[in-house]
Homo-oligomer: A and B are copies of this chain.
Amino acid sequence: MADSNVKVLGTWASPFVMRVRIALHLKSVGYEYVEENLLEAKSELLLKSNPVHKKVPVLIHGDKPVCESLIIVQYIDEVWTSAPSILPSDPYDRAESRFWAAYVNDKFFPALRRVLISTEEARKVAMAEILEGVVLLEEAFKKLSKGKAFFGGDNLGYVDLAVGSLLAWIKVIEKFTETEALSEAKTPSLAAWADCFSSHAAVKDVFPDVDKLVDFGMKLRAKFSKAATAAAATTTN
């Protein structure tokens, strides 16, 4: 049920947008979803709502915009307090959740992006970082989940949203590189969690189609490779 008071500016392929939508689903908050076409032109509403970064997602609550996916998720958790909390209540557990979400944003996602759009050599380095990263996340899962199904325990939590939103993109780079990143042999807990996450009621409707994402990834790669070739030509001419 759409609540005209809440609007999300997003794009279907963005893992960051997915985090915000899952958080709203978990809290049973209805919202209007506005699809932006970032490969073409950004809307006036997006440019006005996020003038600093000009990026999705933006949550508009009433007339107030909130930007940056992890900040939006915390905002949602603090505004709609009746549903189960997304962040744990204990300060140390909260700090650990924030640590792993920041790790995903600052280290894991940039490596994933480089696997997608870098040149061959940089791609190998980035893929090695991904393979190290999933081992770290496997350990983090064991610690945070305390034997339950999710990083957040019985319910989806902050780290589930941070990592889970990248699962479809992990599948894309597995196809691109013909390398298994998550596997029952090397990361059994994370592999089992991935199945639970992607079939969760709050997730399954916004989990992107991987084949469609592969096509989109190839377009992105072509766009960046063209840009890099043009930049190299400018430098050498």
Q: Kindly list chain B residues whose C-beta atoms are within 8 Å of the C-beta of A64.
A: 92
Contact B71 A103 (CB under 8 A): no
Answer yes or no: A99 CB below 8 A from chain B CBs. yes
Query: Is A68 in contact with chain B by the CB < 8 A criterion?
Result: yes
Kindly list chain B residues whose C-beta atoms are within 8 Å of the C-beta of A61.
Answer: 92
Contact across chains for B78 and A94 when beta carbons are under 8 A apart = yes
- Indicate if A1 sits at the interface (CB-CB under 8 A): no
Chain B CB within 8 A of A33 CB: no
Knowing A68-B102, A71-B102, A102-B71, say if A52 contacts B95 (CB, 8 Å).
Answer: no
Query: Which B residues are in CB contact (< 8 Å) with A52?
Result: 103, 136
| A contacts with B, residue count (CB < 8 A) | 21
Tell which of B67, B92, B95 touches A99, judged by Cβ atoms closer than 8 Å: B67
Interface membership of A75, Cβ < 8 A: yes
Q: Is there contact, CB below 8 Å, between B103 and A78?
A: no
Q: Across the interface, which residues of B come within 8 angstroms of A103, CB to CB? A: 52
A123 within 8 A of B: no
A75 to B90, alpha carbons, bound, how many Å? 10
Contact residue among B66, B67, B71, B95 (Cβ-Cβ distance under 8 Å from A75):
B95
- Say whether, besides A52-B103, A103-B52, A91 and B79 are in contact (CB < 8 Å): yes
Closest to A77 in B: B91
Contact with B along A63-74 (1 / 0, CB 8 A): 010111001101
Which residues of A (93-110) have their CB < 8 Å from a CB of B?
Answer: 94-95, 98-99, 102-103
Residues A91 and B78 in contact in the complex (CB < 8 Å), given A52-B136, A136-B52: yes
Q: What separation, in Å, do the CA atoms of A103 and B52 have in the docked complex?
A: 9
Q: Which of the residues B67, B79, B99, B136 comes within 8 Å of A68, measured between beta carbons?
A: B99
Q: Which residue of B lies closest to A106 (CB)?
A: B106
- Can you give 25 A-B contacts (C-beta < 8 A)? A52-B103, A52-B136, A61-B92, A66-B92, A66-B95, A66-B99, A67-B99, A68-B98, A68-B99, A68-B102, A71-B95, A71-B98, A71-B99, A71-B102, A72-B95, A74-B94, A74-B95, A74-B98, A75-B91, A75-B92, A75-B94, A75-B95, A78-B91, A78-B94, A79-B91
Q: What residues of chain A have their CB less than 8 Å away from a CB belonging to chain B?
A: 52, 61, 64, 66-68, 71-72, 74-75, 78-79, 91-92, 94-95, 98-99, 102-103, 136
